[in-house]
């Protein structure tokens, strides 16, 4: 595993726990955690066998089969391409890269690697939330009929306080973009996953609401402590866009770190000719489903607790009604990734899927720069 921030803790939990609940066809071993500083402590804390400082050495090691990339976005391309070329399967955190160019390089590397049986996957783990996977199943079964509209939003508020410091997530050179790439990317991927359709064109606007913030004195988690000095926020705080899906349906998106009181509200509502569904990550064990084929007097959004053994991913966990949490998605991700490696199939989302999301992000920025002009994604 390259990187050991908050995402490193989450991925570690995935690797640690998945084999204890799922019947994996291969037995993962937690070998090395790589970081320029402090990797030893992380390795000890999270239960990795070794720590290392130089990822270039580690991706060449013969005893390593899988590279898990959890660094900031500006290093994804270099690490992932090197790992794939070294014949390692790669799991790479989202968004795939900071630019379309980087993502294209990565997708090409993944395609070449696939020809040699080497697998690459992007870590959009919210696909693995059972309620989201069940939403996709309902759409795929035609329970919603023709999709007419989608509303997708990912709302947080951790920047609403103007004194929150300038972490790497607020710097364009490290993060690529702000709310757009960090959380908007999830909204895009989840919309495309659930509907089975890609965004083809869009009109959007991005905006930085607080232009300057205190520099970071000491980084802890997402926020950290503020210092006396100030620096410029070089990424967006809010991104709003309206896109068209492949079928022609309209989808409107919002990513914001300024929606006061919303902590982690990734919400998707899909409206179709035969039904609708609504998901909210703040109620991640639930899916609301509206069946418009019932008699009018009996219709209504139905709060399904997605904790039944027959729901996706649920069988190995607890009895019905017992909740899963945030990190369970990482165990599901490990399960799916390991299964694909074992079967020799293409895990999804692929690097090509990740490249597409990158192109959507890019189209939003281009549209915003052009006065919200309608802009093709251009896959």
- Contacts with a copy of itself in 197-216 (CB under 8 A)? 203, 205, 207, 209
Helix (H, G, I), strand (E, B) or coil at 20: helix
Q: Is 190 in the site for a copy of itself (CB under 8 A)?
A: no
Instruction: Write the DSSP symbol of residue 178.
Output: S
Q: Is 120 in the site for a copy of itself (CB under 8 A)?
A: no
Report the nearest approach of a copy of itself to the CB of residue 204 (Å).
Answer: 8
Place of tokens 């349906």: 249
Q: Is 12 in the site for a copy of itself (CB under 8 A)?
A: yes
Report the nearest approach of a copy of itself to the CB of residue 20 (Å).
Answer: 6
Place of tokens 């595993």: 1
CA torsion 106→108→110→111, rounded to 10°?
A: 170
- Contacts with a copy of itself in 20-49 (CB under 8 A)? 20-21, 45-47
Report the nearest approach of a copy of itself to the CB of residue 371 (Å).
Answer: 4
By rule CB under 8 A, what count of residues binds a copy of itself?
A: 91
Residue with smaller CB distance to a copy of itself, 226 or 250: 250
Give CA–CA dist 261/157, Å, rounded: 6
Report the nearest approach of a copy of itself to the CB of residue 80 (Å).
Answer: 25
Q: Is 344 in the site for a copy of itself (CB under 8 A)?
A: no
Give CA–CA dist 208/175, Å, rounded: 14
- Contacts with a copy of itself in 78-97 (CB under 8 A)? none
- Considering only residues 89, 119, 127, 328, which one is a binding residue for a copy of itself as defined by CB under 8 A? 328
Q: For 238-271, b where at least 16 C-beta lie within 10 A, e where not — what string? A: bbbbbbbbeeebebebbbbbbbeebeebbbbbbb
- Considering only residues 242, 333, 335, 365, which one is a binding residue for a copy of itself as defined by CB under 8 A? 242
Report the nearest approach of a copy of itself to the CB of residue 242 (Å).
Answer: 5
Give CA–CA dist 117/185, Å, rounded: 28
Here's the x/- map for a copy of itself, 268-307, by CB under 8 A: it reads as -x-xxx-xx----xxxx-x-xxx-x--xxxxxxxxxxxxx
* Angle, vertex CA 190, rays to CA 187 and CA 342, nearest 5: 135
């Amino acid at each position: 595993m390259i990187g050991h921030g908050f995402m490193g803790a989450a991925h570690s939990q995935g690797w640690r726990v998945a084999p204890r609940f799922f019947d994996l066809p291969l037995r993962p071993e937690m070998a090395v955690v790589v970081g320029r500083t402090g990797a030893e402590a992380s390795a000890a804390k999270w239960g990795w066998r070794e720590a290392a400082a130089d990822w270039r050495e580690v991706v060449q090691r013969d005893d390593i089969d899988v590279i898990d990339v959890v660094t900031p976005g500006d290093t994804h391309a270099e690490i992932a391409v090197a790992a794939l070329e070294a014949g390692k399967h790669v799991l790479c955190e989202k968004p795939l890269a900071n630019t379309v160019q980087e993502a294209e390089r990565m997708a090409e590397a993944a395609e070449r690697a696939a020809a040699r049986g080497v697998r690459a996957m992007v870590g959009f783990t919210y696909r693995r939330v059972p309620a989201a996977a069940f939403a996709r199943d309902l759409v795929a079964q035609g329970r919603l009929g023709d999709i007419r509209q989608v509303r997708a939003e990912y709302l947080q508020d951790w920047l609403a306080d103007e004194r929150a410091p300038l972490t790497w997530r607020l710097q364009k050179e490290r993060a690529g973009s702000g709310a757009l790439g960090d959380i908007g990317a999830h909204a895009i991927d989840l919309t495309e996953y659930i509907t089975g359709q890609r965004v083809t064109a869009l009109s959007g606007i991005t905006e930085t609401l607080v232009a300057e913030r205190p520099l970071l004195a000491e980084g802890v988690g997402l926020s950290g402590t503020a210092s006396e000095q100030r620096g410029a926020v070089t990424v967006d705080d809010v991104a709003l866009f309206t896109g068209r899906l492949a079928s022609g349906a309209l989808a409107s998106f919002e990513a914001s770190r300024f929606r006061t009181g919303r902590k982690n509200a990734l919400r998707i509502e899909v409206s179709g000719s035969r039904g609708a569904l609504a998901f909210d990550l703040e109620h991640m064990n639930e899916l609301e489903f509206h069946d418009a084929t019932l008699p009018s007097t009996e219709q209504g959004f139905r709060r399904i607790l997605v904790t039944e053994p027959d729901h996706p991913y649920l069988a190995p966990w607890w009895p019905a009604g017992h909740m899963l949490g945030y990190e369970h998605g990482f165990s599901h991700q490990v399960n799916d990734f390991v299964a694909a490696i074992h079967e020799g199939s293409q895990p999804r989302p692929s690097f090509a899927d990740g490249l597409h999301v990158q192109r959507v992000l890019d189209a939003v920025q281009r549209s915003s720069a052009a006065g919200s002009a309608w802009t093709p994604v251009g896959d």
